[in-house]
Structure formats: structure tokens, C-alpha cells
Amino acid sequence: MTTPLLEVRSLARVYEMNRGLFAKGTGVRAVDDVSLRLERGDTLGIVGESGSGKSTTGRVVLGLEPPSAGDVLFEGRPMAAHGSPEWRRSRMRMQMIYQDPLGALDRRLPVAAQVREPLDIHRIGNAAERDERVGELLQAVGLSASVTQRYPHELSGGQRQRVVLARALITRPDILVCDEPVSALDVSIQAQVVNLLSDLQAELGIAMLFISHDLRVVRQVSRRIAVMYLGRIVEEGDADDLFARPEHPYTRALVSAAPSPGRRIADREMLQGEPPNPAQRPSGCSFHPRCPVAIARCRSDLPALVDLGGNRLVACHLASAGGIVPPSMVPASAAKSQPAMEASAP
């Protein structure tokens, strides 16, 4: 097997909570035993409800936060310590795009200077080459020459995110980590920015980790999708196949809840309840309090992420036993039963 561009092995990130409602020593296990591979030029989507650990995974992958356990390997080598010269060099090759473009931009710099700044900082090319590259990228992201001397607050949300994208691409990164890059945008603009991201990713051959709570958006840009629930990957597979044939009950609920042409709202199988508090993770399969098909074993045994063949990994006792999961997500008995809880240890 070739060395992937990015490999994440058994990653965990625990936040110690020693204040407020949290007892001393309580740990929020935001990411728990997550393993991922991303090949050069490939796209991996990470999807899940709020609090499932998507952003934490992205931050640890970029070395912005240290893992509590596990490894992040970039081209087969461990990620350098945060802030070290080696980390800065590898960070140039890994760029992040956040939800809030205004927060990511320097309000005092006009667009052209903003996009050029990484080249100035890393002393890449001479002045003429830098200007030429800025012009190329602004054109590539669909920004006209008329905006180059404007400031971020003078742009629309979509234009700002295009500036962020141009700035992220200017150092020719190998990986883009996009964390909810279109969630703050108007729905009509979302599709344009997603298409642009997708086109540029394919054209430039950049690998992309695309994080979103919106399964439709993730599907649009990802070849593979990993579904996270309470810090763990519960299912991973090829995007179209996962959408057509979700195995895990949680994925089934997400797919069913995603609006789809021709499907009436009444026909959607809606997921009941909220995700549990990550500091009080349910025992066994942490989805069991919301799972309509949970069996006794689910309350005590943590299901392993098992390769079911066909590039599909699933963490569910029923799925790995070959059991067909009934489609109904109305949690009749599950909703009434009290979940068995255990405080998550750091």
C-alpha cells in the first residue's frame, strides 16, 4: 500500500473540564479513536451533527491542537510540533477555510494585498511574479479586477469566501481543510461556492478534507464520506454508494432527513432527540438511546468499525452481523427506554 498524503491513526482529543457544571477531572472526549486516510488529490467529507467532533478533527489534523492520543502523519511523517519552523513549512502546504470569511481576513488589507500576503511572508517569487500569481488566482475564483483594491467589509459574503479561497490556494497547498465553508452563505450563493471549490480542487489536484453538517453539500464535493457521531466514525464509504445504501442507523437517518427531489417531507425518517452530552457518553454504542433498532447488547458493547467489503466501514452490531436494519427511524421502544450512561474518562 502506498503512503497516503495524510494519515490519521487512532486519534483522540480530550478536553478537561474543571469548572461550571462539570466535575473536576471530567473529560469531554471530542474525538475518539478516529482513523482516516487521504490520498493526494482525493476528497474526503466528514459529516455529523453539531458537537460530533468534526472541527476538532480538522484542527488536530492541521496541528493547531495536539492530539491526546494517536498520530497524524503527513507524507508518512509525524506532524511537527505546533509553532516549530517545520510545522510552519508543512502548514504552508495545508490550508484551512473556515465558516466565517470576515474573521479569516485582515480588515485593514485590500483584497490584492490580502491574497498576496502568504507569498510575501514566505518570500515566494519576486514582486512581479507575486502580482501575476495574485491576478491568476483572483481570476480563477471569479473575482473581477474591480474588487482588488476593496476591503473585506466592502464585499459580499460570497466574494469574501472567494478571497479566502484565493489566499488559501496561493501557496499551492497539497491539502485544503474546509470547515463548514458555505454554511454562513446565502443558500443561492452556497451552490456557486461549492461548485467553484469542487472545480478548483479537481483542476489543481488538491486533496480536500471537507467538513459540514450538511450531507448534501458534503456529497457534492466528496469522493468518500466519513460519518461522525459523538467523536467517533460510525460509517465510512464511497459517497454515492453511502448515499444510496446507508448501513448505520445514524447514517440512514441523516440520508433520509436530507432534502431530495421527489421525496416528500412526510416520507422522511426524522432522527429523534438531541445528541447526548459528550461528557456523559452513553455506554456501549453511544447512539443506542436514539437508535430505533437497538438490541440489549448495544447498551453495553461498543461496536468496532468493521470493514463490510465494498469500501464500506460500519460500527454497528447489527450491520456487522449482516442484519438488515429496518428503515423506520421512529424510535418506539428506544425513545421510552432510559439510556445507560457513563461519564467519559479522559
Stretch that binds Mg ion, among 29-37, 52-60, 86-94, 234-242 (CB under 5 A): 52-60
Among 285, 305, 313, 329, which residue interacts with ligand SF4 (rule: CB under 6 A)?
Answer: 285
State the binding partner of 291 from ligand ATP, ligand SF4, Mg ion, none, CB within 5 to 8 A by kind.
ligand SF4
In the chain, the DSSP E strands lie at 6-17, 26-38, 43-47, 69-74, 77-78, 94-97, 175-179, 207-212, 224-229, 232-238, 306-309, 312-314
> Closer CB to Mg ion, residue 55 or residue 90?
55
Q: How far is CA 208 from the centre of its chain?
A: 10
Q: Determine, following the binding rule CB under 6 A, whether residue 298 of this chain makes contact with ligand SF4.
A: yes
Among 52, 55, 171, 256, which residue interacts with Mg ion (rule: CB under 5 A)?
Answer: 55
Alpha-carbon gap, residue 9 to 84, rounded angstroms: 22
Residue 10 beta carbon to ligand ATP: minimum distance, rounded to whole angstroms: 17
State the binding partner of 318 from Mg ion, ligand SF4, ligand ATP, none, CB within 5 to 8 A by kind.
ligand SF4
Helices 157-169 and 127-140 pack at an angle, to 10 degrees, of 130
Alpha-carbon gap, residue 45 to 54, rounded angstroms: 10
Residue 278 beta carbon to ligand ATP: minimum distance, rounded to whole angstroms: 4
Residue 187 beta carbon to ligand ATP: minimum distance, rounded to whole angstroms: 18
State the binding partner of 249 from ligand ATP, ligand SF4, Mg ion, none, CB within 5 to 8 A by kind.
ligand SF4
Residue 112 beta carbon to Mg ion: minimum distance, rounded to whole angstroms: 30
Q: Which residues contact 204 (CB under 8 A, 6 or more apart)?
A: 169, 172
Q: What are phi and psi of 128, to 5 degrees?
A: -65, -40
Q: What are phi and psi of 289, to 5 degrees?
A: -65, -20
> Closer CB to ligand SF4, residue 1 or residue 296?
296
Q: Rg of the chain's alpha carbons, rounded to an integer?
A: 21
Among 294, 305, 313, 329, which residue interacts with ligand SF4 (rule: CB under 6 A)?
Answer: 294
Residue 100 beta carbon to Mg ion: minimum distance, rounded to whole angstroms: 11
State the binding partner of 98 from ligand ATP, ligand SF4, Mg ion, none, CB within 5 to 8 A by kind.
none
> Closer CB to ligand ATP, residue 20 or residue 85?
20
Residues near ligand ATP (CB under 6 A) are 15, 28, 30, 48, 50-56, 213, 278
Collect contacts of 254-262 with beta carbons under 8 A, ≥24 apart. 254/47, 254/215, 254/227, 255/215, 256/327, 256/329, 258/214, 258/215, 258/216, 259/216
Residue 151 is which amino acid? Y
Residues in contact with Mg ion by the rule CB under 5 A = 55
Residues in contact with ligand SF4 by the rule CB under 6 A = 248-249, 285, 287-288, 291, 293-294, 298, 303, 316-318
